[in-house]
Structure 1
Amino acid sequence: MGEARRKRLTGQPGGDGAAQLQVKKEWPTFVIIRHGVAPINADYVKNFCMQVDANSSAVEVKCAPVKGDLKDCFPLVEKQVQNSGGSLVLGWAIWEIVGQMIEAELHAVWRSAEGDLIDISPRERRFNSITFLPDTKGLDFSRQVDNIRHPLTADPRIHKFIELHRQRFALFNEGDLADKMGVVELSPQAARELYLIERELDSLPFLAVE
């Protein structure tokens, strides 16, 4: 998934910031928010998809998860292609926090030899289908691509949430870091900035969305 191969702070930087800090790319777990599948026929979803890729149209893709890493769709689909034929289709999974935010996440699904699009990625939460926007821009998934987020409310907490994640992604993907996955090292200054970003995210008073 697009921003699923993420980096996360694994410790708190010391006050003097004297040493580099190892971090792992993954989603921070401190904000309790549950994404749902964005409704494919809603006008605001169609408008959002137009902003993401004006030459594409969203489709409903059924889910048939296989065993594998919850964090990374690309190797799963590549393996499926090797074993069963078909092809990898790159695009965006369109998610929604109801009434608060809509989000596009870089994602890959499998096109079977019969031409059917199937989402084989396992998730902690099971879905029957997802809203998927095929890519027409020739995106490169060998490097990290940030999620595209758009607020559905004027609530300043949502706007702050989006901005903090933009800053977080920029921090983790500056220079050569953009080509690195898994555990990476941040400079003392960057580690301190990351700590402040994650602390501020942790302070946002979100409620769980069921």
Structure 2
Amino acid sequence: MKKLNKMTPQKITFTVTKFIDSLNATHEPILLDVEAEEGAEERDCFPVVQKKVEKEGGRMIMGWQIWQFKDLYIEAECHAVWEDKNEDLHDITPKPESVKKILFVEDSNLIYDDKQIENIILNTSNNKLVDDLIEVSHAIFKFDNKGIRAETYNLSDILNSEQVDYKTYLWTMREMITSILQNKGSRNSKCPCNSGKKFIECHRKGFETKIKLDL
């Protein structure tokens, strides 16, 4: 999937502060250097930190990693960091090369039980395509975590053909929306499918109905 170039907020603005306050986390936000553990996988924070604890002691600290995409939205991603024996925090999970620091908010309310925790996204613009991104991201999370799917590593082993088609639709829509936003577009931008039509008149048709399907 095409990735949005999300960044660590460069400034703790009023908007960022209000968003963090809305998380009701138990601690104040702090900046942490990225100290990637050798051989670790990007976005694999929980096993990375667990392995570190087993090897060197300390403990896992749960919280939220705060991302910002231009002036379009702010996102809180559930994240784990390593606390060493001196109670200092370290972000040891690899990031994209451009990310040198993260904004981390420790939250003792979070409990890791080997299940996904949904990201929280706030639209900070007037671009309604961001709302579409939020909706499709929520639909993907809901689909992937329904029933036994929440505990299944390879969903292709248990999905029927209708469910496969729906998951493909959701990922295709997120890919298209991501591509348009990356190019500073909106619902009225040309559809990435190269039909020549506006996205809102092409692949977005029927979106409100399809996004609410419960398969």
Where does the alignment leave 5 or more consecutive residues of structure 1 unmatched?
Answer: 1-28
* Residue of 28, 44, 57 corresponding to 2:15: 44
Distance change >3 Å, CA 174–CA 57, structure 1 → 2: same
* Larger relative strand fraction: 1
1:65 matched to 2:40? The reply is no
Greater shift in the superposed pair: 147-156 or 186-195: 186-195
1:203 aligns with 2:167: no
Alignment RMSD: 1.9
Higher RCO (C-alpha 8 Å, min separation 6) = 1
Query: Structure 1 counterpart of 2:58, which letter?
Result: G
Q: Specify the SS of the correspondent of 1:46.
A: helix
Q: Which moved more, 1:133-142 or 1:59-68?
A: 133-142
2:34 and 2:95 in contact (8 A); partners too:
no
Larger Rg: 2
* Residue segments in structure 2 that go unaligned for 5+ positions in a row: 185-215
State, as a whole percentage, how many aligned pairs show the same letter.
23
Choose the corresponding residue for 1:94, options 50, 66, 74. Answer: 66
Selected match of 1:191 from 148, 157, 164? 164
Structure ranking higher in helix proportion: 2
Compared CA separation, residues 127 and 109, structure 1 to 2 (3 A): same
Alpha-carbon deviation of 1:60?
1.2
Shift of residue 183 of structure 1? 4.9
Between the two proteins, the alignment pairs up a number of residues equal to 180
Q: Give 1:3-152 correspondences, 5 Å limit.
A: 29-30=1-2, 32-39=3-10, 41-67=12-38, 68-152=40-124
